[in-house]
Structure 1
Amino acid sequence: MNLDRRKWRSSSGLAIAQLPPGQYDGPDKKLSSESAEGKVPRVLTRALRSLSSSSMDSTASSLLRSSSSTRRLQMTPSTSGSIIGRLHRRVSRRSNPASGPSSDPPGSPVVNGSQPFSTMDVIQYGPLKADISLLKARSEYLVLSDQCLIKFVNGEAARSAFPQLTRAQAQVRDSSPCRHAPGRSGASDVRLQIPLHAIVAAFDEDGSSGRSAIEVWWFSQWPRLGYCKAHLHFSLSRERDDWLASIHRACRARLRKSPGISHIPENLKTRINHIVRATEGSIDGAPQNLMFPVARRVFGMTQKALAADESHDNSDSSSFYLVLGPCMCHLIEVLKADRSTLPGDLRVKATSYGTVTLTRFKASVASHEQRFIMCFRSPFGPESRLDLASVQYRRIIEALTKADRILKPMWPQHFQQGIFDIKGLPPPLQLTSGNDLGGLRRSLQAYCAAYQVRVPQWTIEWSTPPQPAFRLLPLEGESYSSLQLLAVFRALRFNSFFKAISFRDVDLSPLTGKNDCSQYGDAVAYRSLNGLSISEDHHQVLLHAPILGQEMHALTFASESIRSIDLTNVLGLQTADRRQSRCDLSSLRTMSSELLRPMLLLWREQLCVCHSLSLSGSPLALADVDELANTLVLDHVHFKKLDLPRCALGDAGLSKLWTGLAGQAESLEWLDTSENHGVARFEIVQRTLRQLRRITKLNIAGNTRITSDESLFDKTSIGSWALRDLDLSGIALNDDTIDVLAAYLGTEQSQGLGVMRLNSCGITGRQISRLFRAMGQARRMAVHLNANRPDEGIDDLCRAVACGFAPWSLFMQMVEFALETNFIKLLRALTVNKSIECLSLAGMAMADAASSTACQAIADFLSTNNKVRFLDISGYDSKLDEGRLGMGFSRALSGMKFNTRIEHLRVRSQMLNANIGDLAEAVSANKTLHTLDCEGNDFNLSNMRHLIKHLEDNCTIRQFSAFSDPELSRTIRKSMYAAGTALPVRRSSMMLRFRHEKPQNGTGMPLVQELKDEWDGVVADLERLLRNNREAFAKNGDDDADFASHAQWRDSDAECDFSSAFGGLARKEFEFWRAKGFRGSTSPQRRPVPESITPAAGGDGAGEVGGRPSSTVSSDVGISPSTDGASMADMPSPLELESPTDGEFGLEKGLNTITVIDEAPYSNWTFCEGYDVDDGLQMKSYPRHVGATPSRIEEEEGAA
């Protein structure tokens, strides 16, 4: 039987015969004649050989040889009762389509095999190659009809089954001595029958053996679910190619006749759809999954492995399917099964590849080649290659190119041609429709699915030009992975919809220092959307550049629409912990170089249209600064915005930069070089400033020192500027500079100036009054005069303020008056002022605590002034300094009882816990306050109860903050710790000797839990009150006729400016009500956070913070930019819009745990949370965590 099986694998083909309409080839004619003439002698010879077989022939082999005899043996019914005979009869009934009714053909329940061979149209026929390793080898015969492909044991069997072959030969012979009547072929004569509609693929065999063979894959016979395959060997490669072309034509013709036939059963479709959904998730508007049966080709098999593989010919094996999902390609392997198997019981192996990671697709439609090659490669990974074949290769090519265009709609056609190497297919013009935002949403989902990462959070900003701007939103408490960042970069590539890109506060360091060398795919963008190409040298530089440099190059070069890139705080230095762990400036400068150098190359070669760059918070190397300065002086380079604060520039770097800035005098509109380490030479800065023509924002805080009596500005040059923002903080201004500024403020060109910062400029009250009088009364401007010297010339300043010469937004923070009388004069001038609406006096103090006269002046200001609506009178305290008005300040709050104008009040760090009744009574009587921020005042549980009791009488306060996040955690933890240790401390030492620890702990733990429940109750009561006030305000507003005008005022630019400048709860309140009628653009994965829930710091505990109201503590959006660090940090007045969060403390830790980490035991704790301690200053020492910054200077027990 092994001999017979090897004989089935053998092939012998000397010629290929076809049936053209009127021609017949001579050689094949001769072969056919010889075969017909020599038929009878061969039969007799075989019969005699069978009768006289030697002892070496066994009975089984004789039966096998007789089973392959001529049709004469088939004409006589077999009466053998042996097993071999019964098998022959069974095969005859099942496999011979020419004798009797036939069962369903492989792969389909449609009965097509009932058609006899004699009625089929023969397309091609001919012998196969004989196996020369066999003795007396005979050639198998292959016939291709319009219905199937059949392999016979020899040509005689083929002519017996297909009488057409005999008639065709008889028509071309000159004479025919005898003809044989057509008969029926025996079951054993048909070695193989393949229905054309069941063929999966037919292709020439790959391998190094040099054999000329065709490999055919087809569906197993119904109802089996699997594949069968066969190898057909030919003598010559030309014969193989002719047969392969004929098979392909026949398959295409068959598919055209019945295009709707599907060989994929429903149970498999259900399972495949489930796999796609589980892998890619649910995507709105996703097209239906496309499924194609394919054959998987294997390379590199040895001769022995090939022989073993061919031994399984015509046997059921696994089936393969290529599935095109919304974002991914899936290769599905289904092990042998049945079509009635439940979907969940199918044994399936699935391998998924991102469609956008396709680097090569090689195929050919010119030669009708069913084979194709697919190569996928994800970043930082190896390339995966799929060698497949399918009769539906054209549909696969069409579907895959269309999917590529849908997922990357903005990518130019030539990049698709670089991926799809398809011979004979002209470049298709594929247009995509419905690509909102340049197809960003779909592309980003595709890349994230391909890289198997979550979709990052993003938004579209329309507020500031150039617009629209894409902004990647930072995560709270964590960073994006390198693959998430790559997905964003690749999705934005060639996107011409956006004009600006912002990665502000997003940590890009996971991409720094990584290389991804790939010669294929989308690693390097060498050609732009409009066809501009980089040079070969430039391309080689990019090939060896880090991947972040490659992506920055692609982002600024490929689309040709990006005008602005914001890379503020992108090195992961947003928090104090990260700043401490990444203090190595050399490594940070290397990271910044990966961001800057690719863009510098593009600017030098005139291949970049970006004219605005922000690198705030990115330390720059001196070499990069030199290259930037050299680029700035080029004639074809035109910058509009250059934002380089906090870039660790030294004296040399800053001077070099200012020298190069002179080359941008005609185009530069926005310049920010503040907060750098170095100081540029005064002559260089002065000379560059005189050349600027179009500047609108100038922030040069601390950049130089005025070393002469000359003015920093030229009067003629500054007279032509239309400034909107000016910051000269940290530069000691002389009289000439003040005179030039005052003259400019009186010109028409200065009317657009909205913000002027002169912090720490050493200017006196007299100089300030000069500026105020120059700008006029009620100037629409925010002026910051922090940490100056208003004591000198205070009378001039007070007269100007009293007469209304002041801006409508004034910040005079961190001012310490040498004399209390000067402070009182300023307060009385502010009391009668009619122009200031937003006022911040945070950190203002005197040498000693405020006297009763000063407190009365504050109370008069609060009760009398009817213009100020935003007021900040917070104190300031740090480890080494403080600025507070003293314990008597709380009595001044009595003036709030009569105030009818102030809507937003901030009173941080003024020791209000000492006399909580003053604040409570003021809150109860006031009817105009909307927000109240009194963080940093060390309120305890008793204080909070007292405040909430009086808040019930106030129906206007809608935002209230008594604690910051870290402060609330510390307060609750300290009170719970004190409750757990209070009882043992109060026992006498004698009694303690006779008591066990277990009863003590049993007594203390319920008290701790009770205290925690009381804190939770206070928080809930406060949130209930604030929620009721908000609901009442919204309800009354709907019925109030003036509400529409009030809302219009709240949405005005002025209100927005005040809220943004004042920050804190005022900004939160403004944004809350504006959001009621305004909805911003958000990413599809980002959901709005409810108002009553404070966003968590990130991580696994994000869902545990829902119980704490946002109004009890200040959220991130509720921090004042003016007094952010007034009560919690060492810096006097930080300029950040958001305060850094303390990662050491969290609400979930404060509420759910009592363990104090890294704290030494203290014995001087005082438990003072009871009702008997309502008033009075409790002086105690609190334990502090190692490395934590103290929030305020505490008075220790026993201090003198």
Structure 2
Amino acid sequence: MSDRRRRKSLTIFRPEISALTPINEPPDSAPAGGLLKKRRPTTLFSSSPTSSPTSSDMPPSSPASPLTPIKRTDSQSSLRGLLPKSRPRSLQKQKPGRPSSIFGSFRNSLYSSQEEDNPLARTTSKQDSVHSTGSAAALNYGGSILEHGEIQTSGGLFKKKNQYFVLTDTHLVRFKSQERAFEVFPSIPSSLGRSSGMRHSRISSSGSLNELHTASSGESHHAIQLHDIISVCRLDDGKPYFSIEINHMDEETNYVGAITLQLYDPLEYNVWTSSIRGAVIKARLNDPQPFSQNLIQHTARVLEREHDYHPNSFHLFKVIKRSSKSAIRSSSEDLTKVHSTICILAFGIHKMHLVPFPRSSRNASNTSLSDMNAVSNGILAVTNLKMHETDDAFSITCRVPFRQSTTLYLASSLVSDIALTIRNGIDFLKPLWGESSMTWEVTSAVENGVWTIEPPEDPIAGYDRTLTAYCAAYNVDPSNIQYTVHDDCDDAPVFELLQPADNGRTRYSALELLAIMRSLRYNESFSTLSFRNVSLDVLHNLRDHYGTDHVPLTTKSGIPMNIPDEENATLLVQEIRALAVKCRRLRRLDVSYCLTRRFQQQDETAQDPGCGICEALFPLCAKQWTNIDWIILNGIVLTDVDIDYIFSAAIDKSCHFRALDVGYCGLVDRSMHTILQAMFHQEATMESINLSGNLARQEPKEIENQLGHMEFIRKVNLSHINRISSPEPLIPANMLTKWKLVDLRLSRTALNEQSVEALMMYLMDDKSEHLRILLLDQCRLTSTEASFLLNAISQKPGRARKMHLDLSENRLEQHHEALVDAIERSCSPVRLTMQMMEYKNEKNFQKLIEAFSKNTTTKSLDISKLSLPIDAGDDTCKILNRLFTENRTIEEIDISGEHTHIEAAQYGNGLNHALAGLKRNRTLQVLRVEHQKLGLQGASTLASVLEENTTLREIHCENNEINLQAFTVLVNGLERNTTVLYLSSMEFDRAWTQKKVDREIDNIRENPVPSPVTRMSSSTKATVNRTLGRTLGRTIGSRKVFSPRNNHENHSPKNSYTDTDFQAAMGSLSQNWDREVARLNGYLDRNYNLAHGLAPDGQPLLDIDRPETSESLATAIRGYNIDDKTPTAEVNRQLVVGDKDTQEKEYDVEEKEVSAEDNAYESEGDALVMGKH
């Protein structure tokens, strides 16, 4: 080659042409003298950061593949560790009676400086300089001879001839005879004596037709450059000789060939294999060759098609794809198949791709799709990598769930670099895994070259990296997976899996769940894993029969588990068990409502295998192989099998369970009794009990006997239980004071007078000071009982108690004065919820609002879903206005309504006047006013509030029949507000508006020519027809057209508008709404930056950019571009021949009529909201 540049096989960047990044760095100068040290190329997976060809501080442009610094475990790297070791001296001695070997010794090949004593030996490995003669130098065949020998080859049927092979440090040369070799290499003897009993080795060529023609056409020799050799493999074809296959390719000339050496002596077989492999490695180090730009572009396009390309993760290797493990190929094989076996092994961000080599007659610009059919496998799908010390062959086994494993049999002289790229790639994509997930069968030199991947500073980023890689390996979309990490739990941080991002899906697929769970293995960043309300049904009773590489057989400490029949367990059991034993920090697991299982009948329980989660967790807890001690099973129907697993583990006090939540698990009397007995053995550690919503009947005495001895209970949930009728309290006061309660939930459980009295005594005791949540909704309490509890909560009137009290759906209108008095005296806690109150007398509600106006302790008030006999009157709205104006304590209020098919709970139109009181409010931060039908007038009121209020932070106002005009008014009001950080984007109202416009269009289609009565009763429909007619019939471009109604003689009752016009209207509505959402987000971002002291992003939004408001379909169509549409006014127009001036006069009259109608229709909205703007 005329241009010999340094070849980099591991660090590949795209060329600059076609927006690609350069692939090669400038060639480095060769070291002067001494042993050549291997300079490992810089890659994302297997290189040192100090040798990167790009800037070391260059940030990665792909978030999925950040450039994390990689450090080597062994910084000393030399050529000796990668090159094959020389054969021991004892193997080179000749056996008695055997003639001299025709092959040179390998002991003088790479590192030995000794020379043979006998210069007349048949074969020599003496590294003589050939530059003195000038012949070899002229041909540029290298400076030293490593091996040479005369070999008998088969040139065809019944034809044999002798050929002479010479291996130098740059070429493998084949001569017709030894004399020809002597002419080029004078250090080789011109003739050597030969023993008559000598047994010859044989070399037969199975290369390309071009190569065979060259060798038989009279030329004296044929040379192969060592850096063109792709692989050197040993073939096991069952023949009585040893075969070595050498595959080579000249990328510049697209010359492809393969020769097979057939030898009878195993010692010579080892010598030639080792010599050629070592010479190829050394030649690549001394004279690396760059990949061609066409090849780089071809491969990069394949990776881009798979969405797996990034310059910093782009690595190329030339490999030989073998058809089987033995890679048998004889000399008589069809030579046209040789080309198809040469491929490019390319590594992207998350996958490796076996790309067919492009045809020589094509370049990268016209590569067909057939040439780009690559075999792609995820890097995390690799389960086994096996290489050999004696040749360049290796195999990669990949497997994805529910499929058989596939093995790629490959060969490459860069097998060590390929193995390191795969291993370092897996370690980089799984930085939190403590052990390798694949079988690693490599040489010791490669094992020592594995880099140590430093864990990322952000553990969440590390999990996201692993999750994305697993999704790529399993061919699922990672953008559909949603999760959050928060600290709203005692065992924080919490990983909580959310519902799929795709609104059309309610469940994750099996592959998505496997990617999520396997990414969480070995993750020590989370103390709690929550799959609450995420369906895991797809993994229940599902098995993977094609492999066991995913099955955990040991704990994280390396203790063999030896669980019977573990390999045949369901995937749900295997994955839950793997999370439990591989995550030491994991303390809490929440799988509430993850399985949909019906209640089993008595005759069906014997055949039910259980939910699987109990089978996975509780045996591990019994053997203390996991640190999970807080298990939440709410909403999962448990059978006798599950109860047995729980009981077997819980009776062992060494398990140290802190919580066992079995709410709504379908427990009957027998199973509930078993659970209570199991909890009794954990009395020293239990902190939480949830027995809510089960079928079993609870007896107060049994609850006291089984749970009364637990002194560390902090959370108790006895909601919605079936209590046996008795005069005794559900939980005695002495039992409540013994506990250190923080959370007590008795929702939907009927409380008798004794239970209320016990609660009151407990709340008055100092031991209840840690109680933060008390839920008493639907407990049949009266206002008198509620007032007793409020008085007990407030030991000192006027002093706020940090507690959330829920009194929703109780009979609070009875003896209402007592409740009002307690609230007015500020006996209520900091947070009070009173949802779904039913008032038959509106005055009682007015008294309650007046009491809250004087209250000074409640900061969060929820009086949503209120039910009044009729809409709130003027007096009630004035009192609400006074509440917003006078109260100086409430920071969050919820006055949302409710709209169902059965009934609706709303305040009515008077609420708009009440909301006006927020202009003078200086304490409220969160306002929730949903399902109240605010409409345009309510939006105008909120807009005026936003312009004056400086304390509001969040406004939740969805489902208020806010159309585009009202939404625009609301966004305009936010323009001058710099404190609001959240305002609803009105997606539900947007859908409501679109449905309303659809109904308008249907009405127009059904009644294209409405009668005058219809116009008067339906102003919206008239506006739609009027505006469509004006928009489509007034002006088209710069050309005037005339209304079809001027042609009375030719008027047709046919619909005046086409579907194109209606599509234009819907498109205009959608575009305008998107524009308003963009403005809303811009204002909210501005306020967020101001609240956190950040510089504003982008240009400030000016008043001139504010759009006009639009109320309905009619106004929306005006701004829509219809130049490219075919208006109906031209489709249906039948112009009569007449005076042009007359037509223009009629048009002007019509224009005035339309303008007058529009002004009359829009005057009301403009007067309300557009006066100030």
TM range (shorter): 0.5 to 0.7
State the distance in 2 between where 1:800 and 1:295 align. 86
Deviation at 1:645, TM superposition (A): 4.3
Contact (CA 8 Å) 1:500, 1:563: kept in 2 or not? yes
State the distance in 1 between where 2:325 and 2:150 align. 30
What are the residue-to-residue correspondences of 1:701-850 with 2, within 5 Å? 701-705=719-723, 707-776=725-794, 777-817=799-839, 822-845=844-867
> Is 1:523 matched up with 2:541?
no
Q: 1:1152 aligns to what?
A: none
State the distance in 2 between where 1:515 and 1:834 align. 60
Q: 1:293 aligns with which of 318, 329, 354?
A: 318
Q: 1:213 aligns to what?
A: 242
Contact (CA 8 Å) 2:661, 2:690: kept in 1 or not? yes
Instruction: Give, as a single letter, the amino acid of the residue that structure 1 aligns with 2:454.
Output: S
> Is 1:498 matched up with 2:526?
yes
Q: 1:532 aligns to what?
A: 559
State the distance in 2 between where 1:488 and 1:864 align. 51
Structure 2 CA distance for partners of 1:964 and 1:722, relative to 1, 3 Å: farther
Q: 2:429 aligns to what?
A: 407
The alignment partner of 2:403 has SS state of coil
Q: 2:58 aligns to what?
A: none
Q: 1:639 aligns with which of 657, 663, 682?
A: 657
The alignment partner of 2:420 has SS state of helix
The alignment partner of 1:435 has SS state of coil
Structure 2 CA distance for partners of 1:443 and 1:800, relative to 1, 3 Å: closer
Q: 1:231 aligns to what?
A: 260
> Is 1:278 matched up with 2:309?
no
Instruction: Give, as a single letter, the amino acid of the residue that structure 1 aligns with 2:557.
Output: N
Q: Which has the larger radius of gyration?
A: 1
What are the residue-to-residue correspondences of 1:1076-1091 with 2, within 5 Å? none
The alignment partner of 2:1055 has SS state of helix
State the distance in 1 between where 2:164 and 2:1067 align. 91
The alignment partner of 1:466 has SS state of coil
Structure 2 CA distance for partners of 1:744 and 1:295, relative to 1, 3 Å: same
Q: 2:645 aligns with which of 627, 630, 646?
A: 627
> Is 1:249 matched up with 2:271?
no
Q: 2:285 aligns with which of 244, 248, 259?
A: 259
Q: 1:330 aligns with which of 342, 349, 353?
A: 353
What are the residue-to-residue correspondences of 1:290-329 with 2, within 5 Å? 290-299=315-324, 306=330, 308-309=332-333, 319-329=342-352
How far does the alpha carbon of each residue in 1:958-980 deviate from its partner, in whole angstroms, 9 at most, with x for none?
A: 84788645544444444554565
Contact (CA 8 Å) 1:666, 1:693: kept in 2 or not? yes
Contact (CA 8 Å) 2:667, 2:694: kept in 1 or not? yes
Deviation at 1:266, TM superposition (A): 2.2
Contact (CA 8 Å) 1:983, 1:1004: kept in 2 or not? no
Deviation at 1:142, TM superposition (A): 5.8
Contact (CA 8 Å) 1:887, 1:914: kept in 2 or not? no
Structure 2 CA distance for partners of 1:590 and 1:409, relative to 1, 3 Å: farther
Contact (CA 8 Å) 1:270, 1:343: kept in 2 or not? no
How far does the alpha carbon of each residue in 1:648-681 deviate from its partner, in whole angstroms, 9 at most, with x for none?
A: 5556555544443333333233344444566544
Q: 1:420 aligns to what?
A: 441
The alignment partner of 1:525 has SS state of coil
Structure 2 CA distance for partners of 1:114 and 1:809, relative to 1, 3 Å: closer
Contact (CA 8 Å) 1:202, 1:370: kept in 2 or not? yes
Q: 2:1153 aligns to what?
A: none
Instruction: Give, as a single letter, the amino acid of the residue that structure 1 aligns with 2:350.
Output: C
State the distance in 1 between where 2:417 and 2:524 align. 31
> Is 1:1002 matched up with 2:1056?
yes
> Is 1:696 matched up with 2:714?
yes
How far does the alpha carbon of each residue in 1:23-70 deviate from its partner, in whole angstroms, 9 at most, with x for none?
A: 7665454899xxxxxxxxxxxxxxxxxxxxxxxxxxxxxxxxxxxxxx
Q: 1:454 aligns to what?
A: 477
The alignment partner of 1:255 has SS state of helix
Deviation at 1:771, TM superposition (A): 1.3
How far does the alpha carbon of each residue in 1:72-118 deviate from its partner, in whole angstroms, 9 at most, with x for none?
A: xxxxxxxxxxxxxxxxxxxxxxxxx9999989xxxxxxx784459xx
Deviation at 1:729, TM superposition (A): 0.7
> Normalised by the size of structure 2, how large is the TM-score?
0.67
State the distance in 2 between where 1:672 and 1:280 align. 49
The alignment partner of 2:524 has SS state of coil
Contact (CA 8 Å) 1:718, 1:744: kept in 2 or not? yes
Deviation at 1:388, TM superposition (A): 2.2
Q: 1:470 aligns to what?
A: 495
Deviation at 1:635, TM superposition (A): 1.8
State the distance in 2 between where 1:1172 and 1:312 align. 80
Contact (CA 8 Å) 2:178, 2:190: kept in 1 or not? no
The alignment partner of 2:452 has SS state of coil
How far does the alpha carbon of each residue in 1:1008-1052 deviate from its partner, in whole angstroms, 9 at most, with x for none?
A: 7999799789969987997898699779xx6xxxxxxxxxxxxxx
Q: 1:611 aligns with which of 629, 639, 658?
A: 629
What are the residue-to-residue correspondences of 1:742-1141 with 2, within 5 Å? 742-776=760-794, 777-817=799-839, 822-845=844-867, 861=883, 864-876=886-898, 878-881=900-903, 883=905, 902=924, 904-908=926-930, 927=949, 930=952, 959=983, 964=989, 967-978=992-1003, 984=1009, 986=1011, 999=1053, 1001-1002=1055-1056
C-alpha RMSD of matched pairs (Å) = 5.6
5+ unaligned residues in a row in structure 2: which ranges?
Answer: 1-86, 103-129, 197-214, 599-603, 1015-1047, 1102-1106, 1113-1156, 1166-1173
Structure 2 CA distance for partners of 1:254 and 1:769, relative to 1, 3 Å: closer
State the distance in 1 between where 2:296 and 2:359 align. 17
Q: 1:1126 aligns to what?
A: none
Q: 2:467 aligns to what?
A: 444
Instruction: Give, as a single letter, the amino acid of the residue that structure 1 aligns with 2:862.
Output: S
Structure 2 CA distance for partners of 1:662 and 1:348, relative to 1, 3 Å: same
Structure 2 CA distance for partners of 1:972 and 1:905, relative to 1, 3 Å: farther
Structure 2 CA distance for partners of 1:836 and 1:1077, relative to 1, 3 Å: farther
> Normalised by the size of structure 1, how large is the TM-score?
0.65
Contact (CA 8 Å) 2:939, 2:962: kept in 1 or not? no
How far does the alpha carbon of each residue in 1:579-634 deviate from its partner, in whole angstroms, 9 at most, with x for none?
A: 9xxxxxx99x9898244432233223322112233444444445324433443333
The alignment partner of 1:783 has SS state of strand
How far does the alpha carbon of each residue in 1:813-859 deviate from its partner, in whole angstroms, 9 at most, with x for none?
A: 22224555644543443333222232222344456776777666556
Q: 1:555 aligns to what?
A: 579
State the distance in 1 between where 2:756 and 2:901 align. 35
Q: 2:454 aligns with which of 427, 433, 436?
A: 433
5+ unaligned residues in a row in structure 1: which ranges?
Answer: 1-16, 33-96, 104-110, 174-184, 574-578, 580-585, 1039-1072, 1080-1087, 1093-1106, 1113-1166, 1176-1200
Structure 2 CA distance for partners of 1:335 and 1:123, relative to 1, 3 Å: same
Contact (CA 8 Å) 2:150, 2:164: kept in 1 or not? yes
Identity among equivalent positions (%) equals 22
Q: 2:1028 aligns to what?
A: none
Alignment size in residue pairs:
931
Instruction: Give, as a single letter, the amino acid of the residue that structure 1 aligns with 2:521.
Output: R
Structure 2 CA distance for partners of 1:562 and 1:242, relative to 1, 3 Å: farther
Contact (CA 8 Å) 2:280, 2:413: kept in 1 or not? no
Instruction: Give, as a single letter, the amino acid of the residue that structure 2 aligns with 1:533.
Output: P
Structure 2 CA distance for partners of 1:393 and 1:1016, relative to 1, 3 Å: closer
How far does the alpha carbon of each residue in 1:376-431 deviate from its partner, in whole angstroms, 9 at most, with x for none?
A: 11222222212222333333333333333323334344655x34365897677752
Structure 2 CA distance for partners of 1:772 and 1:486, relative to 1, 3 Å: same
Deviation at 1:262, TM superposition (A): 3.0
Q: 1:1188 aligns to what?
A: none
Deviation at 1:532, TM superposition (A): 2.2
The alignment partner of 1:395 has SS state of helix
Contact (CA 8 Å) 2:147, 2:275: kept in 1 or not? no
Contact (CA 8 Å) 2:629, 2:658: kept in 1 or not? yes
Structure 2 CA distance for partners of 1:375 and 1:987, relative to 1, 3 Å: same
